[in-house]
C-alpha cells in the first residue's frame, strides 16, 4: 500500500517536472543577473508584472506565444513519430513567404477566398519543405537532423533570392531621399488577406482591450491547430499509425503499418504546422515578407515541445510561458536601458530544456527503481 502511494507520488512529480525545471532555470537566471550586478527580484518583478499584470501585457504575451504554438506543435508532432524535425525554421520561412506571395499576388479576391488560400499556401509551403527530409529519411535512411538544419539555410537563401525578385517598389519618400530598403521586403498583402486583431472581437463583446495590441486571429488558428494535432494523433487511424511508428518502427512494420509512408506524412504535417507561422507574422502582423536572419522561432519550438512533453495542451501552455518570458524580457531590456540584454531569455530557455531532460530522466529512473521494489 505504502509503495503504491509512493508510486503515485512519483507519477505526480513526473507530471510537474517541467515546472521544477522552469523554477530552477529562473534561479540560474537570477545568478546571471546577480553576476552582472543587477537585482534579480526587480528584474523578475518587472518581467512578470508587465507581461501578465494587465490586458495589454496578456495580449502581447499571446501574440508572442502564437508562432511558438505552431513551431512547438511542429516538433511535438514529428517527435510522436520518432522524428527530430529541427527544420521548423526553414519550413516556416517557405510557408510564410508563400502566404505573403499569395497575399500580394491575388489581390482581387474577396477575403472569404483569399484568407483560406493564404492559410493553405502557408501550410503547403511548410509541408513541401519538410517532405524533402521526410522522403530522404523514409526511402534512404538519411538522418533527418542534419538534413533539416541544412534545409533551414537553403530556405533562408531561397527566400532572400525571392524577396529580391518580388521586392516592393521604392516609395516616393525613399526615391526622394535616394535610399534603398534597409531590410529587403515585398509589397504589402491585400487588405482582404489580413487577419483582424483580437481587439475587434473583444470590442464586439464590450470587453475593454487596447486597439493597438497586435494579438490577432492567428492565435485562434494556433489553438485550433493544437486541437487538430491532438485529434489526428489520438483519434484517427493515421495518428495511431504515426505513434506506432514512433514507439517501435519494427513492431509497426510487423503489424502491417507502412513506416516510410507514415514518416513522410508525419514530416509533412509537422512542416505544415511550421508554415502556418505565416498566419501570424504576415497575415496578422507585418502584412508583408521581410527578409531577416533566423528569428529562432523554429528552434524555440524545440524547447516549447520539450517543456510541453510533446502534448498539444502542454505545447500551448509552454508557448504561453515562453511568450511571457519573451515579452517580459523585452520590457526588462527597456526598463534597465539595455543593461539586461533580452538574449538572457534565450539562455534561460536553453537552461530550461537541459533541466527538463535531466529531471525527466531522474524521475524515470526513480520510478523504475520503485517499480522493481513494488
Partner 1 sequence: MLGDILNAQFIASSIRVATPLALAGLGGVFSEKSGVVNIGLEGMILTGAFAAVAVTNFAQNPWVGVLAAVLVGIFLGLIHAITCVTFKANQIVSGVAINLFASGITIFFSWLLFGETQIMVKTNLPIWGLFLPNIGEGSTFVRNMIVIFAHHSPLVYLTIIIFVLSHIIIYKTPFGLRLRSVGEYPQAADTMGVNIVNMRYIAVITSGALAGLAGSFLSLEQAHFFVKEMSGGRGFIALAAMIFGKWTPFGTAGAALLFGLGEALAIRLQGVAAVPVQFINMVPYLLAIFVLVSAVGRAVPPAASGVPYEKEII
| Chosen residue from 265, 266, 345, 363 binding partner 1 by CB under 8 A | 345
Cα 80 → chain centroid: 16
Smaller CB separation from partner 1, 23 or 146: 146
Decide if residue 26 touches partner 1 (CB under 8 A). no
How deeply is 274 buried, as exposed, middle or buried, from its count of CB atoms within 10 A (0-12, 13-18, 19+)?
buried
Range list of H helices, 142-217 = 144-165, 172-177, 198-204
Decide if residue 261 touches partner 1 (CB under 8 A). no
Decide if residue 251 touches partner 1 (CB under 8 A). no
Name the nearest CA neighbour of 287 among 198, 165, 190.
190
Least distance to partner 1 from the beta carbon of 294, Å?
7
Decide if residue 373 touches partner 1 (CB under 8 A). no
Give the three cell numbers for residue 117: 488560400
Cα 54 → chain centroid: 24
Smaller CB separation from partner 1, 38 or 253: 38
Q: Binding to partner 1 (CB under 8 A): which residues in 206-225?
A: none
Decide if residue 73 touches partner 1 (CB under 8 A). no
Pairwise CA distance, residues 194 & 111, whole Å: 8
| Chosen residue from 34, 41, 113, 142 binding partner 1 by CB under 8 A | 142
Decide if residue 361 touches partner 1 (CB under 8 A). yes
Decide if residue 102 touches partner 1 (CB under 8 A). no
| Binding segment toward partner 1, per CB under 8 A, in 43-51, 195-203, 289-297, 313-321 | 289-297
Which letter does DSSP use for residue 85 in this model? -
CB 170 within 8 A of CB 181: yes
Least distance to partner 1 from the beta carbon of 66, Å?
20
Decide if residue 110 touches partner 1 (CB under 8 A). no
| Chosen residue from 169, 178, 256, 338 binding partner 1 by CB under 8 A | 338
Least distance to partner 1 from the beta carbon of 220, Å?
28
Smaller CB separation from partner 1, 145 or 223: 145
| Chosen residue from 303, 304, 317, 319 binding partner 1 by CB under 8 A | 303
Pairwise CA distance, residues 122 & 97, whole Å: 8
Cα 130 → chain centroid: 15
Decide if residue 358 touches partner 1 (CB under 8 A). yes
| Binding segment toward partner 1, per CB under 8 A, in 97-105, 152-160, 168-176, 265-273 | 152-160
Decide if residue 161 touches partner 1 (CB under 8 A). yes
CB 169 within 8 A of CB 187: yes
| Binding segment toward partner 1, per CB under 8 A, in 9-17, 99-107, 202-210, 360-368 | 360-368
Decide if residue 47 touches partner 1 (CB under 8 A). no
Range list of H helices, the chain = 2-35, 40-52, 55-80, 88-105, 111-135, 144-165, 172-177, 198-204, 218-235, 237-247, 249-254, 259-275, 277-278, 297-307, 312-335, 343-373
* Nearest-10 Cα torsion for 121, 126, 131, 132: 110
Pairwise CA distance, residues 321 & 144, whole Å: 28
| Chosen residue from 33, 61, 302, 320 binding partner 1 by CB under 8 A | 302
Q: Binding to partner 1 (CB under 8 A): which residues in 79-98?
A: 84, 86
How deeply is 69 buried, as exposed, middle or buried, from its count of CB atoms within 10 A (0-12, 13-18, 19+)?
buried
What are residue 185's phi and psi, to 5 degrees?
A: -150, 160
Residues in contact with partner 1 by the rule CB under 8 A = 36, 84, 86, 136, 140-143, 145-147, 149-154, 157-158, 160-161, 164, 293-294, 296, 299-300, 302-303, 306, 338, 341, 343-351, 353-354, 357-358, 360-362
Amino acid at each position: 500500500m505504502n509503495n503504491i502511494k509512493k508510486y503515485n507520488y512519483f507519477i505526480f512529480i513526473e507530471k510537474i517536472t517541467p515546472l521544477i525545471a522552469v523554477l530552477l532555470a529562473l534561479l540560474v537566471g537570477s545568478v546571471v543577473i546577480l553576476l552582472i550586478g543587477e537585482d534579480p527580484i526587480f528584474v523578475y518583478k518587472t518581467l512578470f508584472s508587465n507581461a501578465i499584470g494587465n490586458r495589454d501585457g496578456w495580449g502581447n504575451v499571446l501574440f508572442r506565444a502564437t508562432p511558438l504554438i505552431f513551431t512547438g506543435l511542429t516538433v511535438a508532432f514529428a517527435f510522436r513519430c520518432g522524428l527530430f524535425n529541427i527544420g521548423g525554421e526553414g519550413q516556416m520561412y517557405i510557408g510564410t513567404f508563400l502566404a505573403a506571395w499569395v497575399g500580394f499576388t491575388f489581390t482581387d479576391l474577396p477575403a472569404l477566398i483569399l484568407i483560406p488560400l493564404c492559410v493553405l499556401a502557408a501550410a503547403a509551403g511548410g509541408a513541401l519543405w519538410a517532405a524533402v527530409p521526410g522522403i530522404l529519411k523514409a526511402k534512404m535512411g538519411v538522418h533527418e537532423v542534419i538534413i533539416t538544419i541544412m534545409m533551414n539555410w537553403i530556405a533562408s537563401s531561397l527566400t532572400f533570392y525571392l524577396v529580391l525578385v518580388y521586392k516592393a517598389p521604392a516609395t516616393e519618400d525613399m526615391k526622394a531621399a535616394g535610399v534603398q530598403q534597409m531590410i529587403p521586403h515585398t509589397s504589402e498583402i491585400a487588405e482582404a488577406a489580413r487577419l483582424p486583431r483580437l481587439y475587434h472581437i473583444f470590442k464586439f463583446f464590450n470587453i475593454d482591450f487596447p486597439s493597438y495590441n497586435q494579438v490577432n486571429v492567428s492565435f485562434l488558428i494556433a489553438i485550433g491547430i493544437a486541437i487538430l494535432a491532438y485529434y489526428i494523433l489520438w483519434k484517427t487511424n493515421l495518428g495511431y499509425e504515426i505513434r506506432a511508428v514512433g514507439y517501435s518502427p519494427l513492431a509497426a512494420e510487423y503489424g502491417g503499418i507502412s513506416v516510410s509512408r507514415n514518416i513522410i506524412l508525419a514530416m509533412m504535417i509537422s512542416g505544415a504546422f511550421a508554415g502556418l507561422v505565416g498566419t501570424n507574422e504576415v497575415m496578422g502582423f507585418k502584412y508583408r515578407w521581410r527578409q531577416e536572419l533566423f528569428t529562432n522561432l523554429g528552434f524555440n519550438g524545440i524547447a516549447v515541445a520539450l517543456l510541453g512533453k510533446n502534448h498539444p495542451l502542454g505545447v500551448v501552455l509552454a508557448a504561453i510561458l515562453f511568450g511571457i518570458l519573451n515579452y517580459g524580457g523585452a520590457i526588462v531590456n527597456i526598463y534597465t536601458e539595455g543593461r539586461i540584454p533580452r538574449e538572457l531569455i534565450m539562455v534561460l530557455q536553453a537552461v530550461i530544456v537541459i533541466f527538463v531532460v535531466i529531471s525527466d530522466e531522474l524521475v524515470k529512473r526513480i520510478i523504475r527503481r520503485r517499480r522493481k521494489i513494488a
